[in-house]
Amino acid sequence: MILAHISDLHLTGKNFVPEWGENLIKILDEKKPDIVVVTGDITDDGYIHEYEIAKRFLDKIKARKIVVPGNHDARNKGYEIFEEIFGTRYPFYKGNGITLLGIDSSEPDIDDGHIGRENYGLIREKMEGEGLKFLALHHHLIPIPGTGRERNIPIDAGDVLNLCIELGINFVLSGHKHLPWVWKLENTYFIAAGTACSRRLKGKSYPSFNLFRIAENRVEMMEINVESGEERKILDYTGDIP
């Protein structure tokens, strides 16, 4: 099974690069992922015309899509438009040996993150049991080096981190900071994707996304340079996969 993790497309902003957007679609067509996880900030300001643009772009992706909103998408009541266009802000997939839950960590019209105690039960319900477990949200739960003063970690990140460890979640996917990074805490990998097709890059980084190749007892994660198409292996997970 192949899973792609893309984030922070900012399809409607001045920093969107059409060529990179075309490259992203082309590379995804070549890699043929079974699922594409989109961890937010598909728009710049959450307006309805921006969502229409974003939908047309994401419709070009042929794989099944799991989409959660980011802080930019929640602006201007955009969280309501998100639900009209993409359905639930808490998408769920279970099959082929994996469990994948998307969580909305955005707050309307502010950049800060928040998961909420009312959603802990949902996480627990969906993530209990066997199999490879993925949790996807926009905001990072652990600070990312090289991204400046920390401001937007969810205010209840500690409780969510504890849930991730307690439930044995294997991978937590996020975006927001526009810089790829991986932390490992206990047996959970916290993986941030870079921006896939926006100039809002940190330092000399490049537009990128993550690609997971999942076999019976192995998960290989590659970072894909959207500009050049080059792959770089980030991790090779060969632990016990129930």
- Using 50, 70 and 90 to split pLDDT, how confident is the model at 242? very low
Please give the pLDDT value at position 146.
92
**Calpha distance 135→154 (Å, rounded):** 15
Please tell me the CATH code under which domain 2-237 is placed. 3.60.21.10
Q: Between the CA atoms of 127, 182, 36 and 97, what dihedral angle is there, to the nearest 10 degrees? A: -40
pLDDT tens digits for 162-200? 999 999 999 999 999 999 999 999 999 999 999 999 999
Long-range pairs for 46-49: beta carbons < 8 A, 24 or more residues apart = 46/72, 46/73, 46/74, 46/75, 46/76, 46/77, 46/78, 46/79, 46/81, 46/82, 47/12, 47/76, 47/78, 48/81, 49/12
With 0-12 / 13-18 / 19 or more C-beta atoms within 10 angstroms meaning exposed / middle / buried, residue 220 is middle
**Calpha distance 7→2 (Å, rounded):** 17
Please give the pLDDT value at position 239.
62
Q: Is 51 helix (H, G, I), strand (E, B) or coil?
A: helix
pLDDT tens digits for 85-144? 999 999 999 998 899 999 999 999 999 999 999 999 999 999 988 889 999 999 999 999
**Percentage of the chain lying above the pLDDT 70 cut:** 98
**Calpha distance 236→132 (Å, rounded):** 14
* 72, HSE (Cβ side, Cα atoms, 13 Å): 20
Q: Residue 30: what residue type? A: E
**What is the distance, to the nearest Å, from the Cα of residue 70 to the centroid of all Cα atoms in its chain?**
9
Q: What is the mean pLDDT of residues 67-77?
A: 97
